[in-house]
Structures are given as C-alpha cells and as structure tokens.
Amino acid sequence: MALRWYTTVIDSHDIAAQARWWAETLDFRIVYEDAHEVAVIPKHMSEDVIEDGATWMRQAQGLVFVPVPEGKTIKNRLHIDLAPHTSQDRDAEIAALLERGATLADVGQDDDVTWTVLADPEGNEFCVLSSRDR
C-alpha cells in the first residue's frame, strides 16, 4: 500500500508573505490561512471531497507554510526543482523570479550545470532546471 504525498511543509518567518510568493511562482491559490499555517494548492485542484481512493492518490501536492522563530542557517536538505516548458523563455522566468525577490544562490554547484540555484525571499534554495517537455 502506498501513501499519497500530500504536502510539503516550509518553515517561515512570514508565512503569509512566503505563501503568497510561492503561490504566485507556481500559479497556486491559497486554500487556508490562519496565524499558524497557510496552505496553497494548484489552481486546477479541487477542494471537494474525493471518495475514490485511486482518484485521491493522483491529486497534486500542496505547500504549507508554518511559523518558526529561528532563521535558516544551513543549506536545505530538501529543495524544490522548477522546470520551464520548452515553449517558455527560461532566462525570462528566472529574471521574473529575481525581480520578485529571489536571489542567486551558491550551494557548491559547478559553473557548467544545466540548472540555476535560487533562494526564495527567506533564503530557501530551489532550482530552475533546463527547459523540458515531459
């Protein structure tokens, strides 16, 4: 029996700002928000009850942002990879992320890698991969 990967939880200082930044980045929407967490899911994903287990297992993952008092001190052990479609301008997508508050990050990658490492506004690393069509 398998379990569904339901969500990824991201520790944050400003959960509302982080959730909104990632929701815009991924074209997600906020589905829950209070002082203790903010949850975002893909816009196409339904919030309706799904009775069928197989259908429920095929649902996409969400992100949940929770408050923590401490700051980030080391490289993430887990990170998100984003990929543009081959019809998208990868450099323009990276520029848009930088304009919205992402920063270039060095986690020890070589100069000739096919991905770009960035950090979100609170310093969490993520990668923008080469363009793909699958």
Q: Which pLDDT tens digit goes with each residue over 103-126?
A: 999 998 998 999 999 999 999 999
Pairing state of beta strands 80-82 and 38-42?
A: unpaired
| Structural domain contains residue 63 | yes
Give the pLDDT confidence score for residue 71 in this predicted structure. Answer: 85
> What whole-number percentage of the chain has pLDDT above 70?
99
Cα 2–chain centre separation: 23
Task: Indicate whether 63 and 14 sit together in one domain.
Answer: yes
Place of tokens 């799904």: 50
Name which of 102, 78, 89, 69 is nearest 130 in CA terms: 89
> Which domain range does residue 62 map to?
7-67
Residue 134 belongs to some domain of the structure: no
Task: Based on the fold, state whether residues 57 and 85 are members of the same structural domain.
Answer: no
Residue 1 lies in a domain: no
Based on the fold, state whether residues 26 and 59 are members of the same structural domain. Answer: yes
Residue 25 lies in a domain: yes
Residue 34 lies in a domain: yes
Q: How many CB atoms lie within 10 A of CB 31?
A: 13
pLDDT 10s digits, 69-95: 998 888 888 999 999 999 999 999 999
The answer to whether residues 84 and 60 belong to one domain is: no
- Shared domain for 12 and 58, answered yes or no, is yes
Q: Distance between CA 105 and CA 62 in Å, rounded?
A: 24
Nearby residues of 124 by Cβ (< 8 Å), 6 or more positions away: 10, 72, 76, 79
Domain count of the fold of the chain: 2
* CA 31 centroid distance within chain: 15
Kindly report the pTM of this predicted structure.
Answer: 0.92
Same domain membership, residue 121 and residue 93: yes
**Residue 2 confidence (pLDDT):** 87
Is 74 inside any structural domain? no
Q: Rounded to an integer, what distance in angstroms lies between the CA atom of residue 112 and that of residue 79? A: 20
What's the pLDDT tens digit per position in 21-42? Answer: 999 999 999 999 999 999 999 9
